[in-house]
Chains A and B, each alone.
Chain A
Amino acid sequence: MTAVYQRIFTVEQDDYASAGLVSSLIKESLRYMGISPAVVRRVAVATYEAEINMIIHAYGGTITLEIGDDGTIHLLAKDNGPGIPDIEKALTPGFSTASKKAMELGFGAGMGLPNIKRNADVFHIESSPEGTILDLLFKEKS
């Protein structure tokens, strides 16, 4: 896949006021490009969960959106730590380490990573104390 479009968005730690803004921009861009609504929705949900995670659990990070020449959507979410100690646990629906502040926002259901995994066609996660990398691909279903 050769990327024909790339845009990098920055997500700030604890920036609760802007939470969801990056996802909303990404969603609008994809819609504008004529990607089908079902795919746009899957990307939007995954991006939104990743963005919220960066704000409530991590020290901020970046979300890179790339569109390939074959129409594949590539999303790379990279945060600045502190990492996920047990990825398997974090992928278990219902498991949550969310703070009181995150709960007030309506998050902490323990569905964040499971939601991301379910919506992406290819899901890859790596985590260390330096940060977590989520590498996601979304394809138009034929």
Chain B
Amino acid sequence: MTAAEIVETLGAKPLAVSDFHPLTKEYVSAFATDLMSDALAMIQESPEDTVLLTGLCNQQALRTAQMLDIELIIIVRGKEFNEEVLRMSRNMGVNVFSTHFTMYEACGKLYQRGLKAIV
């Protein structure tokens, strides 16, 4: 799925959009968690092709993505970033979108559209 299709499927709105990672880029897998060490432990293969879904909306969600080279983050449960976190995501050049769906619903919708679990 492309980033644009993921965003459309989830009716997500942009929080930060990067010039470096176009929304036409294809993603093959997703990982969903609110615990960042789990993301750091589990996402090992092709993190740049993996979407991170999380309800954590602080700097550490961004830092985790940065360490792993993750380029697309979906914030679930309709949460938003505060100004400081927004500024940081713009500086980091990562794409961040927010969906009103819960983690379960968001994962279900993406899985149905063919986005795989991480290997």
Which residues from chain B contact A114 at a C-beta distance below 8 Å? 41
Which residues from chain B contact A27 at a C-beta distance below 8 Å? 66-67
Please report the C-alpha to C-alpha distance between residue A107 and residue B58 in the assembled complex, in whole angstroms. Answer: 12
Q: Which of A39-77 contact B (CB under 8 A)?
A: 41, 44-45, 48-49, 52
A120 CB–B CB distance under 8 Å: no
Q: Which of A49, A104, A107 gathers the greatest number of chain B CB atoms within 10 Å?
A: A107
B24 CB–A CB distance under 8 Å: no
Q: Which residue of B lies closest to A40 (CB)?
A: B69
Among the listed stretches A1-9, A16-24, A122-130, which one makes contact with chain B, having 4 or more residues with CB under 8 Å of it? A16-24
A interface footprint on B30-42 (CB within 8 Å = 1, 0 otherwise): 0000111110110
Please report the C-alpha to C-alpha distance between residue A112 and residue B67 in the assembled complex, in whole angstroms. Answer: 14
Contact residue among A24, A41, A110 (Cβ-Cβ distance under 8 Å from B63): A24
B58 touching A45 by the CB < 8 A rule? no
Which residues from chain A contact B40 at a C-beta distance below 8 Å? 45, 48-49, 111, 115
Which residues from chain A contact B35 at a C-beta distance below 8 Å? 106-109, 111
Given contacts A19-B59, A20-B59, A20-B60, contact A107 B67 (CB under 8 A): no
For the side of the interface on B, what is the size category?
Answer: 20 to 34
Which residues from chain B contact A111 at a C-beta distance below 8 Å? 35, 37-38, 40-41
B41 touching A48 by the CB < 8 A rule? no
Q: Which of B37, B41, B64 gathers the greatest number of chain A CB atoms within 10 Å?
A: B37
Q: Which residue of B lies closest to A20 (CB)?
A: B63
Distance (Å) between the CB of A55 and the closest chain B CB?
11
B37 touching A23 by the CB < 8 A rule? no
Q: Which residue of B lies closest to A21 (CB)?
A: B63
A24 touching B61 by the CB < 8 A rule? no
Which residues from chain B contact A106 at a C-beta distance below 8 Å? 34-36, 54, 56, 58, 60-61, 64
A105 touching B41 by the CB < 8 A rule? no
A37 CB–B CB distance under 8 Å: yes
Distance (Å) between the CB of A111 and the closest chain B CB?
4
A interface footprint on B5-40 (CB within 8 Å = 1, 0 otherwise): 000000000000000000000000000001111101
Q: A residues touching B (Cβ–Cβ < 8 Å)?
A: 17, 19-20, 23-24, 27, 37, 41, 44-45, 48-49, 52, 93, 104-112, 114-115, 118
